[in-house]
Amino acid sequence: MAERWGLRLRFALFFAGLAAGGVALLVAGLWVGHARYGGPVEGYVIAGLIAGFGMIGLAAWVAHLFDENVARPILGLASDLETRARADVGAQIDTAPARYLGALAPAATAIHDALAQARNAQAQVIAQETERLGRDKALLAALLRDLSDAAVVLTPDLRIMLYNRMAQNLLGPVGLDRPITGFLRAAPLRDAIGRLTARGATGTGHAEPFMTATGDGGRFLLGRVSAVDAGDARVGHVVILHDATDDLAAHAERDHLFNTLLEQLRRPAAAISALVEVLADDALPADARSGFEAAMREALAQLNTRLRDGADAYGAIAARHWPMSEVAVQDVFATVAARAPGLVTTTPSDGFLRCDGFGIGALLARIVSGMAEGGKRHDIHLSAEPRGTELWLTLTWQGPDVTDGALDEWARQDIANAYGHYTGRDVLEGHRTEIWVEQGEADPRLVLPLAQARAPDLAPQDSRPEFYDFDLPGPSDGGALADTPLRALPFVVFDTETTGLSPRNGDEIVQIAGLRVVNGRILHGEAFDMLVNPGRAIPPASTKVHGITDAMVADAPDIATAGRAFHDYCDGAILVAHNAPFDIAFLRLKEAQIGRDFRQPYLCTVLLSAALFDHTGNHTLDALAQRFGIEIPATLRHTALGDATATAEVFLKMLDVMEGAGIVTLGDAMAASERMGHIRRAQDY
C-alpha cells in the first residue's frame, strides 16, 4: 500500500512522525526527571503540555511550509516534465513556485529545452521525408474536391474516410468517420456492394451502378461503387454520386408532354382529315363549303396553338438542363475577345451571370465575327448594363446597320465543334432569351438579356473541411465500449452558452457549438455552431459574459430544432466538455422537447485534469490552456465555438498525458473521473 502513497502524504507522515517522536521523547524526559528529582507532578504535566503542543504546532508549521515550498513545487515540476514527455508542449516551465529548490528548477528547464530541441530536429527530419507525400495528398485533395460529381470513399463498414465538396453540397453535413447511412438510403448501396463482391470473386469486378435517395428522400441519386483492394484485403469502396432528381423529373415531364401533345393533336388532326374529304366533294353547295372552310381554319388554329404551347413547354424543360453556373461577366468578355481577336473592345464589369459562359461567349464571338466580316463595321464594343434581375450584354459599332436576317443567320451557325451541332439559336433557347437590334434616338445596338447572379462568397476566413483521412481506426470488433482505446473513438467536444447557471430553474441554452475529433485531428471545417432562441429574455449579466443579445437570437431556431441538429452531429461520438455535467444537464432536461436523448458516454476535462494533476486545485479552462501552451484569443473566450475549440485542443494534449498515466480506454477515463468524488459532488446541476 505504501507504494501508492503520494509524495505529499509521505512528507505529511514524516512530519507527523517527527512531531510524535519529539512528544514521546519529551514525555520520557519529564518522567525521568520527576522520578529522579521528585517535586509536584502538576508542574511536569503543565510543562509537558506546553512543550508538547508547541512542538506539534512547530512541526505542523514547518510541514506546511515544506508542503508549499518543496512538496508541491516538486510535484508541479514532475507533472510539467511528464506532460512535456507525453505531449508536445512548447510553453516554458513556470519555475517561480520552485524557487527554493536550488538547481532542480533550472535542471527541469534544461530538460524541457533539450526535449524541445530533440522534437524540433525530429520534426524537421519527418517534414523532409513526408514532403513528397504531402504534395501527393494535396493534389489528391484538390482533384477530388473539385470533381463535378460527388465522390465518397468508405471504409468496409461504410464510414466516410474521404469526401469532396460536391458530396457535401449534395448529401448535407457529411463528416469524416461518420456512417454514410445517415446521409443516403443505404440498402441499394449495400446491394450494389454485394453484387460487386460476387462479381469480383469471378474476376469480373467493375464499378457497380445503383440508384438511391438522400436520407430525407428529397433527392434521387445515380451512383457507381467500386472496390479498393490492397492485396487480398478489401480496404474500402469508392462511391461516385450524381443528382438525378432533375433528370428524372424532366424525363417524366417530357413523357407527359409527349403523351398530352399527342392526345391534343389527335382530335384537330382527325377533324381536318374529315373536313378535307368533305371539301373534296365538288357537289358541295357554296354556303356549306364556306362553313366547312371556317371549321377547317378553326381546327388549324387549334393545331397551331397546341404545337406552339408544346414547343414552349418543351423549351422550358430543356432550359433547366442547359449547363448553367455563376459566371463573371469579365470571363464571358474574355471568351469573346479570345475567339474574335482584335475585333472587339470591352468595358470592365464586376457583374455575375447565371449562364453557360462558354456558350454565350461563343455566340457573341460568332456575331462579332459576322459584323466585322469584310471590314464593313468597326469599333465594335461590348459592355454590360444592369436591368433589374437581368444584365443586358450590349454590342455597339460604327458602320452599316445590322438586319434581323443577318443576325438570325449568324445565330444559326454552330457555336463550337465541342458542342456538336448546337447552334447559337439553341444557346438562346436554352437560356430562354433572345438577341435583337434595338433602335432608338442613339446609335443602334444589339441587346442580349441574361439572368443576373450574386457574386460567390469567397471570404478567405471561411474554414475548409478536412476532406479525407485514410488512417481512420478500423471497425469495432463488437467489444464493450468501455474497453475501446480512446485513440480509436470519435469525439464531439462541445460547449453551450446559456441565459444563466441554473438549468432546473428556467435558464435556457442560447448557443451550441461543437467540433468533431477523429483520429487525433480536430475537424475545424466540420464545426457545428448554432444560435438558439431561448424563448425568454437574456439577462444583461449573461450577455456581458458571452455577448449574445435578444436581437441576435430573435430569428434563431428553438431548442427542439437546434437540439435535433446537434444530436445528429453527435451521432456515434463520445461527448467531451469542460465542466460537462453543466452542459449535459441543459440538454437532458430538454430531451422530451427535442425528441432525442443525450445518454451517450461523456468525459469532463475538469475531472480528467483533477485526476492527472492532483497537486493543484486550479482546473479552469484557462489554467489548462496555460499548462499546455494553448492560446485562447480574448475575442473567442466565452463564445461557444471558441471555448469548444480550446477544450478540444486541451483534450488532445490530455490524451497523451492520460496514456502515460495508464488511462488508455474509455473505461479507464471514466473510472479516473469517478474517483474525483469531491469535484463531482460540486457539479450536481
Residue type present at position 255: D
Residue type present at position 252: A
Residue type present at position 116: A
**Looking at the structure, do residues 570 and 506 belong to the same domain, yes or no?**
yes
Pick from 60-69, 84-93, 148-157: least confident: 84-93
At residue 459 the predicted structure's pLDDT band, cuts being 50, 70 and 90, is very low
**Tens digits of residue pLDDT in 27-56:** 788 787 777 777 777 777 787 788 878 888
Distance in angstroms (rounded) separating the CA atoms of residues 683 and 185: 42
How far is residue 397 from each of residues 344, 405, 412, 574, measured CA to CA in Å? 9, 18, 22, 69
Q: Where are the beta strands (DSSP E) in 404-508?
A: 436-438, 445-453, 491-498
How far is residue 57 from each of residues 9, 12, 30, 45, 507, measured CA to CA in Å? 18, 13, 19, 18, 49
Q: Is the pLDDT of residue 588 over 60?
A: yes
Where does a domain end: 243, 278, 294? 243
CA 394 to chain CA centroid, nearest Å: 42
**Looking at the structure, do residues 235 and 376 belong to the same domain, yes or no?**
no
pLDDT score at 145? 60
**Looking at the structure, do residues 288 and 202 belong to the same domain, yes or no?**
no
Residue 463 in any domain: the answer is no
Q: Is the pLDDT of residue 345 over 90?
A: yes
* Beta carbons of 670 and 603 less than 8 angstroms apart: yes
Residue 464 in any domain: the answer is no
Distance in angstroms (rounded) separating the CA atoms of residues 452 and 353: 5
At residue 592 the predicted structure's pLDDT band, cuts being 50, 70 and 90, is very high
∠ CA 646-647-653 to the nearest 5 degrees? 95
At residue 316 the predicted structure's pLDDT band, cuts being 50, 70 and 90, is low
pLDDT score at 453? 86
* Beta carbons of 542 and 669 less than 8 angstroms apart: no
Number of structural domains found in the chain: 5
Where does a domain end: 319, 345, 364? 319
Show Cβ contacts of residue 261 under 8 Å, excluding neighbours closer than 6 positions.
306, 307, 310
CATH code, domain carrying 194: 3.30.450.20
pLDDT score at 365? 92
Instruction: Give catalytic status of residue 638 as yes or no.
Output: yes
pLDDT score at 2? 44
CA-based diameter of the chain, in Å? Answer: 170
Residues 535-551: what's their mean pLDDT? 93
pLDDT score at 218? 80
**Tens digits of residue pLDDT in 661-681:** 889 999 999 998 888 766 766
Pick from 90-99, 174-183, 373-382, 666-675: least confident: 90-99
pLDDT score at 305? 77
**Looking at the structure, do residues 552 and 569 belong to the same domain, yes or no?**
yes
* Beta carbons of 548 and 511 less than 8 angstroms apart: yes
Strand partners, 392: 385, 449
Which domain covers residue 502, as residue numbers?
481-682
**Looking at the structure, do residues 259 and 204 belong to the same domain, yes or no?**
no
CATH code, domain carrying 336: 3.30.565.10
Q: Is the pLDDT of residue 464 over 50?
A: no
Higher pLDDT, residue 267 or 642: 642
Using left for φ > 0, alpha for ψ between -120 and 50, and beta otherwise, residue 139 falls in alpha
Among 615, 628, 605, residue whose Cα is nearest residue 97: 615
At residue 419 the predicted structure's pLDDT band, cuts being 50, 70 and 90, is low
pLDDT score at 244? 77
Cell digits of residue 646: 480550446
Residue 429 in any domain: the answer is yes
Distance in angstroms (rounded) separating the CA atoms of residues 478 and 597: 23
**Looking at the structure, do residues 437 and 491 belong to the same domain, yes or no?**
no
**Tens digits of residue pLDDT in 69-115:** 777 777 776 777 667 666 767 667 676 776 666 667 676 676 766 67
Residue percentage of the chain with pLDDT more than 90: 29
**Looking at the structure, do residues 517 and 609 belong to the same domain, yes or no?**
yes
Please give the helix or strand (H or E) that residue 382 lies within, else none. strand 378-387
Mean of the per-residue pLDDT values of the chain: 81
Tell me which DSSP letter residue 159 carries: B
**Tens digits of residue pLDDT in 1-12:** 444 566 667 777
Phi, psi of 184 (to 5 degrees): -150, 165
Residues 480-508: what's their mean pLDDT? 91
pLDDT score at 664? 92
Residue 532 in any domain: the answer is yes
Q: Is the pLDDT of residue 323 over 70?
A: no
pLDDT score at 3? 47
* Beta carbons of 281 and 341 less than 8 angstroms apart: no
pLDDT score at 138? 64
Residue 383 in any domain: the answer is yes
Q: Is the pLDDT of residue 468 over 70?
A: no
Residue 475 in any domain: the answer is no
Distance in angstroms (rounded) separating the CA atoms of residues 165 and 156: 22
Residues 190-203: what's their mean pLDDT? 78
Distance in angstroms (rounded) separating the CA atoms of residues 300 and 72: 103
Distance in angstroms (rounded) separating the CA atoms of residues 129 and 151: 29
**Looking at the structure, do residues 283 and 339 belong to the same domain, yes or no?**
no
Residues 39-59: b if buried by 16+ CB within 10 A, e if exposed: eeeeebeeebeebbeebbeeb
Higher pLDDT, residue 480 or 259: 480
Phi, psi of 636 (to 5 degrees): -100, -15
CATH code, domain carrying 650: 3.30.420.10
**Looking at the structure, do residues 288 and 211 belong to the same domain, yes or no?**
no
Among 320, 453, 326, 433, residue whose Cα is nearest residue 389: 453
Phi, psi of 379 (to 5 degrees): 50, 45
Distance in angstroms (rounded) separating the CA atoms of residues 578 and 628: 15
**Looking at the structure, do residues 669 and 657 belong to the same domain, yes or no?**
yes
Higher pLDDT, residue 473 or 359: 359
Identify the active-site residue in 321, 378, 638, 678. 638
Residue 521 in any domain: the answer is yes
Distance in angstroms (rounded) separating the CA atoms of residues 47 and 509: 66
Q: Is the pLDDT of residue 462 over 50?
A: no
Q: Where are the alpha helices (H) located in 354-438, listed in sequence order?
A: 357-372, 404-411, 424-430
pLDDT score at 371? 92
∠ CA 243-246-250 to the nearest 5 degrees? 145
DSSP code per residue over 177-229: T-BGGGTB-HHHHHHHHHHHHHHHHTT----EEEEEEBTTS-SEEEEEEEEEE
Strand partners, 381: 345, 396
pLDDT score at 222? 86
Residue 138 in any domain: the answer is no
Distance in angstroms (rounded) separating the CA atoms of residues 67 and 82: 20
Distance in angstroms (rounded) separating the CA atoms of residues 296 and 291: 9
Residues 502-509: what's their mean pLDDT? 90
At residue 370 the predicted structure's pLDDT band, cuts being 50, 70 and 90, is very high
Among 362, 368, 328, residue whose Cα is nearest residue 348: 328
Where does a domain end: 275, 295, 319? 319
Distance in angstroms (rounded) separating the CA atoms of residues 80 and 86: 10
pLDDT score at 460? 40
**Looking at the structure, do residues 428 and 510 belong to the same domain, yes or no?**
no
Please give the helix or strand (H or E) that residue 296 lies within, else none. helix 286-319
Pick from 20-29, 109-118, 409-418, 518-527: least confident: 109-118
Residue percentage of the chain with pLDDT more than 70: 79
**Looking at the structure, do residues 542 and 661 belong to the same domain, yes or no?**
yes
